[in-house]
Amino acid sequence: MSPAIASAARRAPTLDSAGPDPNDPLAFILYEHHRHRVMCNALDELAAKERFDAPAVTRLADFIRNDLSQHIADEEEVFFPMLHNRCEAEDEIDAALKRLNEEHEADRDLSLDVRVFLLRAATENAPMSAFPGAPEALRQFAQSQRRHMMLENAVLLPLARRRLTDQDLSVLGARLAGRRRP
Ligand SMILES: [Fe+2]
């Protein structure tokens, strides 16, 4: 792990924290994955809560709608195609990208279910347990996100470190820079 990635990994992110400098876009992506892990833990906590937690519901709905959707779009539109172009046959990147794209698709459906449950909870001021299937949907989405990130962190980021050019990294950085929090 590079020093930049290691230092990003050591920080303790929250759903509201700003990321590292997108001049190191791979550290930025890793940092976002840490924030997604915070989201997964918050989803599990909310699924288990017996009372309505308005701030958690709002924060999670906002994060899934904005940050997570944007992250997936950046990966699908810029990061994955870059890896596809730069990696060597021996990297077997296409199989990994195919799986990750399929997981993004499945997670889009899961996240839609979760967002509907969050909206219902907010509208009715009710805990997740009030809606049949809601706690399970939140947990399933969290679990699927964790699996997905594990593959991206273990396979994609190390390959990107090796294969992407300085020019690629600055294009990726420019794309991610638009999303830095002030
Ligand atoms: Fe990702």
Angle at 177 between CA 85 and CA 29, to 5 degrees: 60
The CA 68 to ligand 1 mean position distance, Å, reads 9
Concatenating the DSSP letter of every residue in 77-117 gives IIIHHHHHHH--GGG-HHHHHHHHHHHHHHHHHHHHHHHHH
The CA 10 to ligand 1 mean position distance, Å, reads 18
Q: Are 149 and 33 in contact (CB under 8 A)?
A: yes
18-60: pLDDT as tens digits: 567 657 899 999 999 999 999 999 999 999 999 999 999 999 9
Percent of the chain with pLDDT over 70: 86
Looking at residue 76, the DSSP 8-state letter turns out to be I
The CA 77 to ligand 1 mean position distance, Å, reads 12
The CA 57 to ligand 1 mean position distance, Å, reads 22
Residues 6+ apart with CB under 8 A from 91: 159, 163
- The domain spans of the chain are 3-8+23-177
**Per-residue pLDDT for 83 more than 60?**
yes
pLDDT at 4: 45
- CA 61 to chain CA centroid, Å, is 14
- Return the higher-pLDDT residue of 13 and 93: 93
pLDDT at 1: 38
Mean pLDDT of the chain: 88
The CA 123 to ligand 1 mean position distance, Å, reads 30
151-182: pLDDT as tens digits: 999 999 999 999 999 999 999 998 888 765 54
Write down the architecture of domain 3-8+23-177 according to CATH: Up-down Bundle (1.20)
The amino acid that residue 116 corresponds to is V
pLDDT at 22: 57
pLDDT at 23: 72
The CA 151 to ligand 1 mean position distance, Å, reads 9
Q: Are 19 and 180 in contact (CB under 8 A)?
A: yes
The CA 133 to ligand 1 mean position distance, Å, reads 26
User: What pTM, to 2 d.p., does this model score?
Assistant: 0.85
